[in-house]
Amino acid sequence: MSIDKSSFVPPYYQLAQILERQIKSGVYRPGDPLPSEAELSEKYGLSRMTVRRSLSQLARAGLIRTEKGKGTFVSRPQLDRAVFVMDEFHKEMASRGLTSSVRLLEARLVPAPEKAAKKLQLPPGTKVLYIRRSLLADGEPMAYDRKYLRYDRGRPILENELQYQALPEMVEKHAEALPASSKMVLQVTLLNEEEARALHVAPGSPAFLLEQILVASDGRPVGWGWCLYRGDRYQLTSVPEALQNLG
């Protein structure tokens, strides 16, 4: 186990791999201290900065933890913790090998309903852009999306832009603020008749309910709505611990 300085793999990465193998094979067990940075530096013929880079990579991956003045220790794997990632719909479907498409069901200006006005911090009845879309995977409906968006600019709504563009881009086009962050809440729900019809399933079927609020950089909400994902075709898979913070 030593560093090959002629390799294309940089030394900091080689050392990280060596230590990772040693941890996973039980040379160092949870709670054990790793050799000090000075020792690793001497043993592998690397500068301390380089050793530290290896260690910080392992720390980001959750394998080790450093304690000031004390040392570096192997972490206990966090098995009761799960991280789920919901990617943008097209990417998500593409990674499952499905071809995705979007069907626009409705897009018009409406007076904001009470709840939408509240969420968008607008006076009730303000004109907002209301959009209903079907998100399809291999031609079959996978999700049903309904959103209320601020509509400051008075630009005409072009049907084709709604079919293909992601929501953040639609907000940019039709509202003055450009969205900077979003808050999402994931719940479960039973589909009512309208929702079930849109998703081609029976009323009362279970589904994921993803509530989304788009927020501008000045903190103002610029979009709000929900997206329903069919419970029989959609699931979330946990991200492996080691990949949670970069590999």
Range 183-189 contact pairs with CB under 8 angstroms and sequence separation of 24 or more:
183/212, 183/213, 183/215, 184/86, 184/210, 184/211, 184/212, 184/213, 185/210, 185/211, 186/86, 186/210, 186/211, 187/211, 188/231, 189/228
Tokens 């979007």 correspond to 102
Q: Which of 24, 27, 42, 45 binds DNA (CB under 7 A)?
A: 45
CA–CA dist 46, 39 (Å, integer): 10
Query: Which of a copy of itself, DNA, none sits in contact with 149, Cβ below 5 to 8 A by type?
Result: none
Q: Out of DNA, a copy of itself, none, which partner does residue 10 contact, by CB within 5 to 8 A per kind?
A: DNA
Alpha-carbon span 216 to 183, nearest angstrom: 11
Residue 69 is a binding residue for DNA (CB under 7 A): yes
Q: Does residue 63 interact with a copy of itself by CB under 8 A?
A: no
> Within 10 A of 108 (CB to CB), how many other CB atoms are there?
10
- Binding to a copy of itself by CB under 8 A, coded x per residue (else -) over 84-123, reads xxxxxx----------------------------------
Interface segment toward a copy of itself; rule CB under 8 A; list 108-116, 135-143, 146-154, 178-186: 178-186
Phi-psi region of 27 (alpha: psi -120 to 50; beta: other; left: phi over 0): alpha
The yes or no reply on residue 186 touching a copy of itself (CB under 8 A) is yes
Which residues bind to a copy of itself, rule: CB under 8 A?
Answer: 24-26, 49, 60, 77-89, 166-168, 179-190, 204, 206-208, 210, 214, 217, 231, 235-238, 240-241, 245-246
Q: Please give the residue ranges that form the binding site for DNA (CB under 7 A).
A: 10-13, 34, 36-39, 45-50, 52-53, 66-72
